[in-house]
Every structure is written in structure tokens, then in C-alpha cells.
């Protein structure tokens, strides 16, 4: 599967997870200042308690037969491979898990590679996969493991390439997601946007963090900036949610409708219709 297709699929999965985790009714609008918002995001430092084997076992349940066969063959080869062959097999396995839209097991293989090669590209690949895995799960135990691994990966990458904006974005995202340093994470993301005002990942994550801290006006501006560049599922959905929490019903409905159109998923579309129906009451 091409990278563009993977990104689109991940975006749809992320939105659907968010969609079904929220109630249809109600406006949240928490009243928090910046200090309270930061404290809320400063959870206890996460621990890595989930093994690569456990993650792979869970991910295998969602594989198509052909994908399962391919990965099983590569895993069996890896068990008996010599040191000279292991790196190539690990990269093949990482790519196979990528093709199956399973970021977590791919992340573990990239992380193993990075620990051996210390190559920036491997550290970045591992960090990106773990940030994605965090985003796609509601399992707090798994999230802790993914944050620890993402932080490790991006810290190493940052030491090797301190001016790399992708690295700064990934590290900032990991810090705010639960890496124990939310304000440092926000500072990293703001620095990225200062240097690259159209940076997609930095803007998306800043928008989402604004939502988490109840700063919906700021979130709206971030998502509108993204949509002005390109119309995509995630920014439209989070824009709709932000409008909803601000009580701007007509704008929320319009954004939900656009999100529904871009997703093209009948099941998710029915859920979005429930949101729209509630807003029209």
C-alpha cells in the first residue's frame, strides 16, 4: 500500500475511534486556564509494559490471510537468521506491518533496527509509528508503552538531527501526549509552526491539544489553516467538534457534512448524521 493511502486510512480510523468514544449529546466547553490545562495533560510518566510479542499477537487478529502468511514466513526466517540477515528481515517485517495499517508492531521492528544502526531514518520511522499507534488506541496500558518508545526514538533522532522539523514535531507530540513534559512539547510544536507555518502534523497536533485543554477558538484557527491547504477528513472532523463545543451549530453541521463526504464510510456517516440531527434540535 502506498504511503498516501496509509495516511488516509489512519486518518479515517483515528476519526472513527474519536467518533464512537464521544456522546452524541452535549456541549463540554470546560473552563480552564493555561495552567490548569497543562496540569491536566501532565499525567504521571508512562511506563513501557507491553512487549513486541504481545502487540504483534493482537495485531495478527486483524490481518487478511495473505498478510498473515507473509508475516509468519518472515518471522520464522528472523528466528533462525544470522546477524547479517536480521536487519533486512526486520525492515521487511516493518514494511509488511505498515502495509497492513498496523503501526505498533511496525514501530517495534523499526525501533530494534534503530538501536542497532543509530540511523536517523530508523529512529524517525519508529517514533512516527508509535505516535500513530498511540493515536489509534484507547488502551491506556498500550498508550504508555507507545509514548515511552516514541520519546526514546525522537530523542535519539533529535540528537542526530536537531534542526529536523519532523523530529521536533514527533518529539513535541510525544511529550504532550503523555511524555511528562507537556509545556516543552507545546514549545517544540510552536517552534515548528514558527519556522514552517503550514506544517501539517504540527498544526494538527496543536489543534487537537487545544481541544483537549478546552481552547476551542485556538483549535478552530489551527484546523481552518489546515483545511485551507487541503481538505482532509481529520481537520474537518475536529473543526466540527470545536464548533460544536463553541455552540456554533451551523458551522459545526457544515463541517460534519464535509467530513462525512470525505470519509465515504456508510457506518461512520450514520454516526455523523446522529450528531447533525442533535445539533438541529
The domain boundary, picked from 162, 179, 196, lies at: 196
Per-residue confidence (pLDDT) for residue 35, from 0 to 100: 39
Distance in angstroms (rounded) separating the CA atoms of residues 151 and 158: 10
Q: Which domain holds residue 211?
A: 199-280
87 and 177 together in one domain: yes
pLDDT of residue 95: 96
Q: What three-state secondary structure class fits 248?
A: coil
**What pLDDT was estimated at residue 21?**
52
Residue 112 CB: number of other CB atoms within 10 A?
18
Domain edge (last residue) among 158, 180, 196:
196
Could you tell me if 161 and 188 lie in one domain? yes
Assess whether 88 and 180 both reside in one domain.
yes
- Spans of the chain below 50 pLDDT: 1-9, 28-43
CATH number for the domain spanning 153: value is 1.25.40.10
- Whether 15 is in a domain gets the answer no
Answer yes or no: is 42 within a domain: no
Same domain, 98 and 234: no
Is residue 35 included in any domain, yes or no? no
pLDDT of residue 46: 76
Determine contact, residues 235/207, Cβ cutoff 8 Å. Answer: yes
Domain-terminating residue out of 179, 196, 213: 196
Amino acid at each position: 500500500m502506498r504511503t498516501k493511502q496509509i495516511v488516509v486510512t489512519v486518518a479515517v480510523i483515528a476519526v472513527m475511534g474519536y467518533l464512537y468514544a464521544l456522546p452524541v449529546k452535549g456541549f463540554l466547553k470546560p473552563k480552564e486556564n493555561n495552567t490548569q490545562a497543562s496540569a491536566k495533560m501532565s499525567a504521571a510518566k508512562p511506563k513501557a509494559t507491553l512487549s513486541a510479542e504481545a502487540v504483534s499477537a493482537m495485531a495478527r487478529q486483524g490481518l487478511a490471510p495473505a498478510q498473515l502468511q507473509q508475516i509468519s514466513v518472515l518471522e520464522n526466517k528472523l528466528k533462525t537468521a544470522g546477524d547479517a540477515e536480521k536487519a533486512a528481515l526486520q525492515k521487511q517485517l516493518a514494511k509488511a506491518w505498515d502495509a497492513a495499517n498496523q503501526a505498533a508492531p511496525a514501530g517495534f521492528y523499526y525501533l530494534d533496527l534503530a538501536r542497532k544502526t543509530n540511523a536517523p531514518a530508523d529512529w524517525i520511522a519508529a517514533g512516527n509509528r508509535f505516535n500513530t499507534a498511540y493515536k489509534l488506541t484507547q488502551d491506556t496500558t498500550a498508550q504508555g508503552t507507545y509514548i515511552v518508545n516514541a520519546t526514546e526514538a525522537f530523542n535519539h533522532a533529535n540528537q542526530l538531527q536537531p534542526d529536523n522539523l519532523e523530529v521536533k514535531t514527533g518529539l513535541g507530540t510525544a511529550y504532550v501526549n503523555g511524555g511528562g513534559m507537556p509545556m516543552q512539547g507545546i514549545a517544540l510544536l510552536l517552534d515548528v509552526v514558527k519556522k514552517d507555518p503550514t506544517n501539517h502534523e504540527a498544526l494538527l497536533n496543536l489543534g487537537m491539544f487545544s481541544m483537549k485543554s478546552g481552547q476551542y477558538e485556538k483549535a478552530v484557527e489551527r484546523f481552518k489553516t489546515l483545511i485551507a491547504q487541503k481538505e482532509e477528513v481529520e481537520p474537518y472532523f475536529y473543526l466540527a467538534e470545536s464548533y460544536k463545543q463553541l455552540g456554533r451549530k451551523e458551522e459545526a453541521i457544515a463541517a460534519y457534512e464535509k467530513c462525512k463526504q470525505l470519509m465515504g464510510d456508510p457506518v461512520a456517516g450514520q454516526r455523523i448524521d446522529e450528531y447533525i440531527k442533535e445539533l438541529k434540535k
